[in-house]
């Protein structure tokens, strides 16, 4: 049976979000039950997500805009254009599937309640939507199968951990997840570094010339142009959450992840490896497996939309 997932994303900022969304939609291992957008202009991010679901043959997937600001701020007022580098992909609602009438945390609570113990929530952006869901709908902690997060820099070699972007954008939300009853799987941001793209992968994407690949190529061009610190080739950091669920790609160990939030200071990530710990802490995809994962990734996004 396909693995049921909700993808919680800041799609439209960095390039891996849109690429990983395409991979999830075109992979038979996954059933995407919802997409929620977070941070800044979440309505613009919602449009981009729906722009992706349609050509991949799944316009029915509910896409819910979420919180523009970090916890504890619950203000839902949009911040137009903030954080969205690929907004020209979907500048308005023309031709798009309609958005969900629910807010992001409401959709997370609803879907996990409809499928208790079956749905993974994958956070590849700030963790605000999930943090708000656990606070506003406490039953979600028991209904969700696990929360799988791309965040932090750590390994099993004893080197000091560093808080990652997806945790530092809303450390309070990350702390809520860490302290909740929900199973939390925390994966390092560099877990899939050996699956990173090079020039041949980009050339293959452009040569495929499908509606789906043309959309992804346009997103890459906008990212390269609009993001000052864009890398030379597209990266797939967020692929780690899906690789974990497919199994066999990266190692996980039990332990404890703690978020220390100090007023006026950057939050800190603490990692403790403990066989009795409440969390699962991920490792890195080895180099040989990374090359295999890259080939699988390319095969999925270059393929025509799968029939459901």
pTM: 0.97
| Number of residues that this document lists for the chain | 308
Average pLDDT on 272-283 reads 95
On average, the pLDDT of the chain sits at 96
Do 149 and 177 form a contact (C-beta atoms < 8 A)?
Answer: yes
- What are the sequence ranges of the domains in the chain? 3-302
User: 219, 227 in Cβ contact below 8 A?
Assistant: no
pLDDT band at 135 (very low <50, low <70, confident <90, very high): very high
At 203-247, the pLDDT tens digits run 999 999 999 999 999 999 999 999 999 999 999 999 999 999 999
Token pair, residue 113, equals 């309640």
Contact 11, 39 (CB under 8 A): no
The sign of the dihedral angle between the CA atoms of 2, 234, 53, 38 is positive
pLDDT tens sequence across 37-61: 999 999 999 999 999 999 999 999 9
> H/E/C letters for each residue in the chain?
CCEEEEEEECCCCCCHHHHHHHHHHCCCCEEEEEEEECCCCHHHHHHHHHHHHCCCCCCCCCEEECCCCCCCCCCCCCCCCCCCCCHHHCCCCCCCCCCCCCCHHHHHHHHHHHCCCCEEEEEECCCHHHHHHHHHCCCHHHHCCEEEEECCECCCCCCCCECCHHHHCCHHHHHHHHHCCCCEEEECCCCCHHHCCCHHHHHHHHHHCCHHHHHHHHHHHHHHHHCCCCCCCCCCCCHHHHHHHHCCCCCEEEEEEEEECCCCCCCEEEEEECCCCCEEEECCCCHHHHHHHHHHHHHHHHCCCCCC
Contacts of 33 (CB under 8 A, 6+ apart): 4, 5, 6, 61, 62, 111, 115, 119
Superfamily of domain 3-302: Ribonucleoside hydrolase-like (3.90.245.10)
pLDDT at 301 over 80: yes
* Block residue for tokens 């393929």: 303
Residue percentage of the chain with pLDDT more than 90: 94
159: pLDDT strictly greater than 90? no
């Amino acid at each position: 049976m396909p693995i049921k997932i909700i993808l919680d994303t800041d799609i439209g900022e960095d390039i891996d979000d849109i690429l990983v969304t395409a991979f999830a939609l075109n992979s038979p291992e996954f059933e995407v039950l919802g997409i929620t957008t977070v941070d800044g202009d979440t309505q613009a991010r919602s449009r981009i997500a729906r722009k992706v679901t349609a050509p991949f043959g799944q316009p029915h997937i509910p896409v819910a805009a979420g919180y523009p600001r970090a916890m504890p701020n619950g203000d839902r007022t949009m911040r137009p254009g903030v954080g969205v580098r690929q907004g020209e992909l979907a500048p308005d609602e023309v031709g798009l599937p309609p958005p969900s009438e629910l807010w992001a945390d409401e959709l997370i609570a609803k879907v996990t309640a409809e499928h208790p113990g079956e749905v993974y929530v994958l956070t590849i952006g700030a963790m605000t939507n999930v943090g708000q869901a656990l606070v506003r709908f406490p039953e979600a902690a028991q209904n969700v199968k696990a929360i799988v997060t791309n965040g932090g820099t750590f390994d099993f070699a004893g080197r000091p951990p560093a808080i990652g972007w997806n945790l530092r954008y809303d450390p309070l939300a990350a702390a809520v997840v860490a302290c909740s009853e929900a199973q939390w799987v925390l994966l390092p941001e560099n877990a899939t570094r050996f699956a990173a793209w090079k020039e041949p992968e980009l050339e293959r994407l452009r040569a495929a010339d499908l509606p789906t690949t043309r959309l992804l190529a346009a997103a890459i061009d906008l990212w390269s142009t609009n993001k000052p610190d864009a890398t030379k080739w597209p990266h797939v950091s967020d692929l780690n959450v899906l690789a974990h669920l497919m199994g066999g790609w990266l190692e996980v160990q039990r332990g404890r992840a703690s978020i220390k939030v100090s007023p006026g200071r950057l939050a800190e990530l603490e990692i403790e490896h403990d066989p009795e710990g409440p969390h699962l802490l991920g490792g890195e995809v080895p180099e040989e497996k990374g090359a295999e994962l890259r080939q699988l990734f390319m095969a999925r996004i270059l393929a025509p939309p799968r029939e459901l």
